[in-house]
Amino acid sequence: MHTQMSNFEVLFTEGHARRGRLKLAHGVIETPVFMPVGTYGAVKTLTPTDLENAGTQILLGNTYHLYLRPGLEVLGAFGGLHKFMNWQRPILTDSGGFQVFSLGQNRKISEDGVVFRSHLSGDKIELTPEKAAEIQRVIGSDIAMVLDECVALPATQEQLDQAVLRSYRWADRFLKEPRLKGQQIFGIFQGGTDIELRKKSLGLTLELPVDGIAIGGLSVGESHDEMIAVLEGVAPHLPPKLPHYLMGVGTPLDILEAVNQGVDMFDCVLPTRNARNGGLFTSDGLLNIRNQSHKLDDKPIDLECSCETCRGYSRGYLRHLFLTKEILGCRLATVHNVHYYHRLMLGIRSSLEAGTFRSFYEQWKPRLRAAYASEKSTDSVFGSGAQQE
Amino acid sequence: MHTQMSNFEVLFTEGHARRGRLKLAHGVIETPVFMPVGTYGAVKTLTPTDLENAGTQILLGNTYHLYLRPGLEVLGAFGGLHKFMNWQRPILTDSGGFQVFSLGQNRKISEDGVVFRSHLSGDKIELTPEKAAEIQRVIGSDIAMVLDECVALPATQEQLDQAVLRSYRWADRFLKEPRLKGQQIFGIFQGGTDIELRKKSLGLTLELPVDGIAIGGLSVGESHDEMIAVLEGVAPHLPPKLPHYLMGVGTPLDILEAVNQGVDMFDCVLPTRNARNGGLFTSDGLLNIRNQSHKLDDKPIDLECSCETCRGYSRGYLRHLFLTKEILGCRLATVHNVHYYHRLMLGIRSSLEAGTFRSFYEQWKPRLRAAYASEKSTDSVFGSGAQQE
């Protein structure tokens, strides 16, 4: 196996759950960790300083979007995404595959790769494993993801089987490409909700020199319970010495459950996208700041929260900003939601350090289920959970 | 005359130009001063902390907009605008008159006041001197402006004469209303470009117990040279012991010329509105950040600038943010432009303290004229200079 796996250290475990530490080119990150999504080289409305203040250790950048804008010429000239966007801490980039597959009719898959039309210019563009590796080298991310074939669920057995084999062959080609110094490369396994196929895909992926393993093909249409069932099925087989990344997930409840099954890393657009729609995360569920009930409320979003927004601004003022379409409202809401996710991860990490994760889990699972899974009103806000911001 | 005029102290003079200090309920401001416009209780995209970091001493709030949203019920419940928006420093509010007059066909003026239809709900609303005073008491601004009748230029002599007399009667009624403790009230004189009428209006206004005097009815359609001619005509007659405020002005050149004619206070939407359109203020003129020429440029907007934006971000990155419609671009551009205006005022104040304003003026006038008056391309960006943000 690959020698770089020593970059990841598991400090504490409790059941499948792990408290780990991952050394990357731009710094060390403490896991379990949540990565805010900065599609175009910016987490919408926030500066790098805001992100650091909110507790962000590592960002996710979208290869597909960055390849279209600003493109490799600009990213190359600026010496990569870190310098371009003035972010000093680690960055993980997806491979662009997920976005390309979500283009639907506008892309054509072959063994060589995916040909698609830019959603901006209409230009025909080819994404191959070699190209995905090149783009991520130019971006200079700390963690690059292999190009995989992602299948929307439900799918036929043949579609799932083929995606597993093709993803393996593409990962193999990706990993044979030149490697940027210090850049780690994570493999991705597929298999839909079929546990046996998942185990086969995981085994194939681990034949390759990967620095981490990602669970792909979830958060693509299946239910929360189906997703958790997959995690339960694969958890005993995940490589103990590599970091485990669940792509594009999820709600606070999803994250708690996934940590309980041994997942170390997460990314999702929920906190940032909800913020711009006026949906604010609290211990009691998603709060719609536009509601009339907040009109005269001088309390912060969450009395327990110490973010910049909760320290300085009332619900009544935030509601006013949303009703008047003031950009500052989106910004202050984003600060809060990102902080909420990081605080959840901090709580999880602290309980693992103290050996009390089991009770943390038992305490928070019903609260988060009540807050984020049982209410119909949250479904439309949560949407599809797609990785693109 | 009114006893509160001792709140203003002139520290240095050079020609008509003055370096002053104005004591207000929420703090002391150093003049000449520029006031960014926060129409709805927020300077678009910025927090109070951002404003303080950029050098903002005092904000302008728009009475008309705040009356419609969030309205007096909310502003009253929160104890005024300062607490509502979390801004500790002084606030000046206009009277709402300018916005109402700019509604054109949708308002009807009588001796009692102005009746207009809300641009939001279509509801019929009346703005009288008494109502304008009440709204500004609830807002709790440090400086309230009397309700005046503002006339668009060009106008007939009869229109101008009537506006002068009506503005005087309305100011008299306004000043007879109860006064919020510590709130200062500025009068406004009119008269278009007619110097004799201006002098008459000024004299009438100074019969009233005003704490400061504003030059109204400029930046309403006349040319830069016409505006400067009015300032030259009235400068010798402005009351030396009161602060002089030129409403809704202006470009950097306008401000330099107006300081030279004895103006102490300014507000304008140019820095904030231009920022959101990608127009960035520099010593060499307005820079359109969308231009292709900035694509690979790793220099900041302005090498001489020390704002947060210029310290952390390149022209190439800012261009990318604007092309991808990232809100962060508007925010970083606004930080820079507001800082630019405050730095201009700081330069003016420093030169007055050093007794070198004359040479500062001679040095900067041709530069600013070349940068901000001669280029056709800036005309469309500068627009009408209306006070509303």
For B332-367, the pLDDT digits (tens) are 999 999 999 999 999 999 999 999 999 999 999 999
Are B244 and B278 contained in the same domain? no
> What percentage of chain B carries pLDDT values higher than 70?
94
Instruction: For residue A197, give the CATH number of its domain.
Output: 3.20.20.105
Tell me, yes or no, if A42 comes closer than 8 A to chain B by beta carbon.
yes
Q: Looking at the complex, does the CB of residue A85 fall below 8 Å from at least one CB of chain B? A: yes
d(CA B181, CA B62): 20
Tokens 């669970």 — which residue? Answer: A215
Which residue out of A39, A310, A313, A317 would a mutagenesis test of the B interface target, given it has the greatest number of B Cβ atoms within 10 Å? A317
Nearest to A296 among B46, B48, B77 (CB): B77
Residue B389 lies in a domain: no
Decide if B312 and A84 are in contact by the 8 Å CB cutoff: no
Q: Are residues B114 and B138 in the same domain?
A: yes
pLDDT (0 to 100) of residue B320: 98
Domain interval for residue A322: 274-369
Same domain, yes or no, for A236 and A282? Answer: no
Assess whether B289 and B259 both reside in one domain.
no
User: Is residue A296 situated within a structural domain?
Assistant: yes
Is B159 in the same domain as B205? yes
pLDDT in tens, A55-104: 999 999 999 999 999 999 999 999 999 999 999 999 999 999 888 877 77
Question: What is the DSSP code (8-state) at residue B9?
Answer: E
pTM of the model: 0.95
SS3 of A290-322? CCHHHCCCCCCCCCCCCCHHHHHCCHHHHHHHH
So what's the pLDDT on residue B280?
Answer: 98
Residue A137 tokens read as 């080298």
Positive or negative: CA dihedral A288, A292, A293, A294: positive
Is the Cβ pair A73, B296 closer than 8 Å? yes
B323 CB near a chain A CB, below 8 Å? yes
Same domain? For B283 and B334 the reply is yes
Is residue B387, in this structure, part of any structural domain at all?
Answer: no
Q: Are residues B340 and B227 in the same domain?
A: no
* A203 lies in the same domain as A282: no
CA distance B368 to B282: 10
**Is the model's pLDDT at B220 over the cut of 70?**
yes
Whether residue B173 is contained in a domain is answered as yes
Q: What DSSP element (H or E) covers B117?
A: strand B114-117
Query: Out of A70, A86, A323, whose CB is closest to B312?
Result: A86
Residue A376 lies in a domain: no
- In the annotation, is A267 catalytic? yes
Cβ contacts from A onto B, under 8 A: 107
Residues B320 and B250 in one domain: no
Residue A69 forms contact with B (CB below 8 Å) = yes
Reply yes or no on whether the pLDDT at B248 is more than 90: yes
Quick check: is A377 in a domain? no
Residue where one domain finishes, among candidates B268, B284, B303: B268
- Which of residues 332 through 361 in chain A touch B, CB cutoff 8 A? 332
pLDDT digits 0-9 by tens, A222-266: 889 999 999 999 999 999 999 999 999 999 999 999 999 999 999
Q: How many CB atoms lie within 10 A of CB B233?
A: 17
| B298 interaction partners in chain A (CB closer than 8 Å) | 77-78
How distant, in Å, are the alpha carbons of B94, B208, B375, B383 from that of B98? 8, 21, 28, 16
Euclidean distance between CA atoms A125 and A128, whole angstroms: 10
Of A268, A301, A329, the one marking the end of a domain is: A268
Q: What is the pLDDT of residues A146-177, one digit of tens each?
A: 999 988 888 899 999 999 999 999 999 999 99
Under 8 Å between Cβ of B250 and B268: yes
Domain boundary among B211, B236, B268: B268
The beta-carbon neighbor of A326 closest among B42, B317, B332 is: B42
CB atoms within 10 A of CB B143: 27
Q: For the segment B125-172, what is each residue's pLDDT rounded down to a tens digit? A: 999 999 999 999 999 999 999 999 988 888 899 999 999 999 999 999
What's the whole-number average pLDDT of chain B?
A: 92
Q: Does B328 touch chain A (CB under 8 A)?
A: yes
Residue B112 tokens read as: 């009692």
Residue B59 lies in a domain: yes
User: What pLDDT score does A389 carry?
Assistant: 59
Q: Which residues of A106-124 are buried (b: 16+ CB within 10 A; e: fewer)?
A: ebebeeebbbbeeeeeeee
Would you state the pLDDT for residue B131? Answer: 97
Residue B110 sits in the same domain as residue B254: yes
Query: Does the CB of A86 have a partner CB in chain B at under 8 Å?
Result: yes
pLDDT of residue B55 exceeding 70, the answer is yes
User: Residue A86's closest CA among B37, B81, B308, B359?
Assistant: B308
Residue A383 has pLDDT above 80, yes or no: no
Q: How far is B295 from chain A (nearest CA, A)?
A: 7
Catalytic residue among B50, B94, B161, B302: B94
Kindly state the tokens that stand for B246: 């030129």
Domain-embedded: residue A379:
no
∠ CA(B250), CA(B256), CA(B260), 5° rounding? 125
Q: Within this chain, do residues A278 and A264 fall inside the same structural domain, yes or no?
A: no
Residues of B in contact with A332 (CB under 8 A): 47
- A94 flagged as catalytic: yes
Mark yes or no for CB contact A46/B328 under 8 Å: yes
Residue A324 touches chain B, beta carbons under 8 Å: yes
Instruction: Indicate if A281 and A262 belong to the same structural domain.
Output: no
Angular region, A41: left φ>0, alpha ψ -120 to 50, beta rest: left
Q: How many domains does chain B have?
A: 2
